[in-house]
Amino acid sequence: MAKPLEALLRALQSLPGVGAKSASRMAFHLLQHDRAGALELARALTRGLAELRHCSRCFTFTDAELCATCADPQRDDSLLCVLETPADQAALERTGVYRGRYFVLMGKLGPLAAPGPQDNGLQRLMERLHSPEASAVRELVLATSFTAEGEATAHLIAQALKGREIKVTRLARGVPLGSELEYVDLGTIAHALADRR
Amino acid sequence: MAKPLEALLRALQSLPGVGAKSASRMAFHLLQHDRAGALELARALTRGLAELRHCSRCFTFTDAELCATCADPQRDDSLLCVLETPADQAALERTGVYRGRYFVLMGKLGPLAAPGPQDNGLQRLMERLHSPEASAVRELVLATSFTAEGEATAHLIAQALKGREIKVTRLARGVPLGSELEYVDLGTIAHALADRR
């Protein structure tokens, strides 16, 4: 096989969830049917690497010192929502109902994750809460995943904030909209029953 | 969302099988955990686009006028294997048992595919068979997929070669190695029974 093709197949496999077969399908699709798309992807990767960095306040990805949300004077400074990833943040933003600030952990905390010294989301969160621009925060909304790791992360953060005058809340657990009870897992139904209103 | 991030998410979705969620997982993985991989991918795409083209003889992807297989004087000129994609060719090469030449259709023929004038694999195959370097071909091995489209492609090629002194064969249909009969589809078992040896 030609060297550049081998290199392309190998590089595509560095994408999460892409194995040898997907990589080969992707490479041949791009080369045969979508060279413009391939060029666009190469450019977007190069530009993304050069321009995207972490927002100095909330740590989401941005191309400026502060991301658009942190720089927006209209957002509610008393609410701070803690999430795991910029993808989670984008999902919450799409709902259009949250008008507070964000803090993105960029991963999970706790024993299952192994963060390096620079990669410690909890420590960065504490620093954020001690900073002058966080003095208005009255409520921390923990919006980490409802998985074992996400729950552990939420628990660690709640522990670390004990004794401080910040209310700590968690997104409600319950039955997703559009679900028939029959197909919802038992743990979710139990939570929805306990938190009924 | 930052413009370069939006562009990256959009570009990743031009990959086959990648929707909004996979694109977001890929982008954040690359930006957060594998910037070297992202750079490598950008380079491999750029290099692949610049250097990879179709082999002038067999139409697979190569970085030279002739691909390594076509240029190899050790291969058997009397055998020509017709495949749909370079991925199929790579699979056959990996078996190590085929020593003939190849012709890659770069797609399927027939009513289900809609090839443009420059994209007509059958016409290119006929031109290849009329060329001086194909005068030694005695057998055409049809290795198109065993799907409706692949069978139609094989049928079209066999039809077009009627009356020519070239033996046309097809890869054997049968039970895959390692299969238990119970789990093999009935059509395959029927073929395996008919072609028993």
Average pLDDT over residues B187-196: 83
Q: Nearest Cβ partner of B61 from A2, A7, A17?
A: A2
Would you call A87 and B12 a contact, using CB atoms and an 8 Å cutoff? no
Residue type, A113: A
Closest chain A CA to residue B3:
A63
Q: What is the pLDDT of residues B136-187, one digit of tens each?
A: 999 999 999 888 888 888 998 999 888 888 999 998 888 888 888 888 888 8
Contacts of A22 in chain B (CB under 8 A): 17
Task: Quickly state the pLDDT bin for B39 (edges 50, 70, 90).
Answer: very high
- Asked if the C-beta of A55 comes within 8 angstroms of chain B's C-beta atoms, the answer is no
**Angle made by CA atoms A23, A24, A30, in degrees to the nearest 5:** 90
Contacts of B45 in chain A (CB under 8 A): 8, 11, 30, 38-39, 41-42, 45
Residue type, B134: A
CB contacts < 8 A, A to B, total 182
Interface probe for A, chosen from B29, B40, B41 (most Cβ of A below 10 Å), is B41
Cα A41 to Cα A26, A100, B34, B106, distances in angstroms = 12, 33, 16, 23
ipTM above 0.90, yes or no: no
pLDDT at A115 over 70: no
Interface probe for A, chosen from B8, B24, B26 (most Cβ of A below 10 Å), is B8
- If one compares A74 and B190, the residue with the highest pLDDT of the two is A74
Average pLDDT over residues B43-72: 94
d(CA A38, CA B45): 6
Residue B173, SS3?
A: coil
- If one compares B103 and A123, the residue with the highest pLDDT of the two is B103
Among B41, B64, B68, B40, which residue's Cα sits nearest to residue B52? B64
H-helix segments, chain B:
3-12, 20-33, 35-51, 68-71, 86-95, 121-130, 148-160, 186-194
Contacts of A114 in chain B (CB under 8 A): none
pLDDT at A110 over 70: no
| Residue keyed to tokens 């030694």 | B136
Contacts of B87 in chain A (CB under 8 A): 21, 24-25, 28
pLDDT at A117 over 80: no
For B38, counting Cβ atoms within 10 Å of its Cβ (0-12 exposed, 13-18 middle, 19+ buried), the class is: buried
Task: Quickly state the pLDDT bin for A111 (edges 50, 70, 90).
Answer: low
pTM of the model: 0.77
Q: What region, left, alpha or beta, does residue B96 occupy, with left being phi > 0 and alpha being psi -120 to 50 degrees? A: left
Question: In whole angstroms, what separates CA B112 from the centre of its chain?
Answer: 17
Among A195, A105, A186, A176, which residue's Cα sits nearest to residue A144? A105
pLDDT, residue B167, reads 92
| Residue keyed to tokens 């990833």 | A85
Average pLDDT over residues B94-116: 76
Contacts of B48 in chain A (CB under 8 A): 4-5, 7-8, 27, 30-31, 38
- If one compares B178 and A108, the residue with the highest pLDDT of the two is B178
pLDDT, residue B118, reads 42
Residues 99-138 of B with CB under 8 A from A: 106-107
Average pLDDT over residues B9-24: 93
Calculate helix-pair angle for B35-51, A20-33, nearest 10 degrees: 40
**Angle made by CA atoms A164, A168, A170, in degrees to the nearest 5:** 165
Interface probe for B, chosen from A15, A67, A93, A119 (most Cβ of B below 10 Å), is A15
d(CA B133, CA B56): 12
d(CA A61, CA A130): 22
Percentage of chain A modeled with pLDDT above 70? 94
The whole-angstrom distance between B75's CA and the closest CA on chain A is 15
Contacts of B27 in chain A (CB under 8 A): 48
The whole-angstrom distance between A14's CA and the closest CA on chain B is 6
How are the residues of chain B apportioned to helix, strand and coil, as percentages rounded to the nearest 5? 50, 15, 40
Average pLDDT over residues B83-93: 87
Average pLDDT over residues A86-98: 87
pLDDT at B56 over 70: yes
Phi/psi of residue A76, each to 5°? -80, 110
Are the CB atoms for A57 and A66 separated by under 8 Å?
yes
Q: Nearest Cβ partner of B8 from A10, A48, A90?
A: A48
Among A131, A123, A133, which residue's Cα sits nearest to residue A157? A123
Domains belonging to chain B, first-starting first, are 3-50 (1.10.8.420), 76-110+118-170 (3.40.1360.10)
pLDDT, averaged across chain B: 88
A118, A121, A126, A128: CA torsion to nearest 10: 80
